[in-house]
Amino acid sequence: MIEPITRGDPESPLRWVCKSTRKLATDLNKQGHDVSHSLVARILGELDYSLQSNRKTIEGLEDHPDRDSQFNFINKKVKKFQANNQPVISVDTKKKENVGNYKNNGREYRKKHNPLDVDVYDFIGKLGKAAPYGIYDITRNKGWVSVGLSHDTAEFAVNSIKSWWLLMGKKEYPNAKELLITADCGGSNGYRVRLWKTELQKMANELNLTIHVSHFPPGTSKWNKIEHRMFSFISQNWRGKPLIDYVTIISLISNTNFTVSGIIR
């Protein structure tokens, strides 16, 4: 009941839901469970849900009256695909990172008075920026990351999904006929990006798959499953470590137990 309406900073273990405890208790009672709102609050606490948070709660857009219905629709579609053993993936581009001896936020244990020395300025160097594009298999809880050297384009995004399917997804779903992609509404996989649609059609023709795409409403990128289940662990794993080259980036991603492709231009 709470999974499709969970909010929160992906890098924080605490989460919260937009439904009140009384609303949840009412819904549970309709299903035949004799519970009170206080019991619901206790259970939420045991599941690491926080009562309130003052960080990243404002999403920049006024709440749409159909927002809850939109997410319920996507949630039902995901469950339908899972029931039919068809693949469901969550995709997104992680924040682009400067490659070089630059400061990376976060701290890690080192001997006293021995911090890592990094460049004072964060100007883009010869190695440019890394653009990690992730594919998260919601059902299998497995991930794939392609690290781009140049630009985060729709062609790169679809190529990453195709690489995941050929080297990982096809083995997990040998009888798959359809693929459901959940994504943010902007960026390289945005709903208005024509190249994204064109490249997806090419991939569908080549792989003989019927591809469905469900975009989240504007201002709800933090609800994307890949943020909470994959990107957050990558950020935690490389915090405080300068991303000096692409080998380091791939190594740090690999240590989060997700499959990593090579470097794709």
Residue 183 has pLDDT above 90, yes or no: yes
Please, which residues bridge with residue 260 across strands? Answer: 145
Burial class of residue 69, CB neighbours in 10 A (0-12, 13-18, 19+): exposed
The DSSP bridge partners found for residue 90 are: 136, 182
More confident residue, 196 or 255: 196
Could you tell me if 129 and 71 lie in one domain?
A: yes
Residue 110: is its pLDDT beyond 50? yes
Q: Report residue 94's pLDDT band, with 50, 70 and 90 as the boundaries.
A: confident
Does 221 lie in the same domain as 97? yes
Across the chain, mean pLDDT equals 80
Which of residues 108 and 189 earns the better pLDDT score? 189
Q: Quickly state the pLDDT bin for 57 (edges 50, 70, 90).
A: very low
Lowest mean pLDDT among 116-130, 137-151, 194-208: 116-130
| Rounded percentage of the chain residues whose pLDDT exceeds 70 | 75
Domain housing 2:
1-57
186 three-class SS = coil
pTM here?
Answer: 0.71
Average pLDDT over residues 26-50: 87
Model pLDDT, residue 65: 63
Average pLDDT for residues 14-42, to the nearest whole number?
Answer: 84
228: left (phi over 0), alpha (psi -120 to 50) or beta: alpha
Q: What is the mean pLDDT of residues 131-151?
A: 88
More confident residue, 109 or 22: 22
Q: Are residues 198 and 260 in the same domain?
A: yes
Q: Are residues 18 and 124 in the same domain?
A: no
Whether residue 140 is found in the same domain as residue 14: no
Q: Which of 57, 88, 105 is the C-terminal boundary of a domain?
A: 57
- Asked if the model's pLDDT at residue 264 lies above 60, the reply is no
Strand locations in 138-183 (E): 142-148, 178-183
Query: 3-state class of 14 per DSSP?
Result: coil
My answer on whether 45 and 142 are in the same domain is no
- Pair (92, 112) in one structural domain: yes
Of 57, 78, 100, the one marking the end of a domain is: 57
Same domain, 21 and 113: no
Query: Domain total for the chain?
Result: 2
pLDDT of the residue at 265: 44
Indicate whether 202 and 248 sit together in one domain: yes
Give the pLDDT confidence of 79-90 residue by residue, as tens digits. 999 999 999 999
Write out the two tokens for 117: 């020395």
The CATH number given to whatever domain includes residue 78 is 3.30.420.10
Q: Looking at the structure, do residues 71 and 150 belong to the same domain, yes or no?
A: yes
At which of 9, 25, 57 does a domain end?
57
Q: Are residues 115 and 21 in the same domain?
A: no
Q: Please check whether residues 134 and 175 belong to one and the same domain.
A: yes
Q: What is the pLDDT of residue 180?
A: 97
- Any idea what DSSP says for residue 252? H
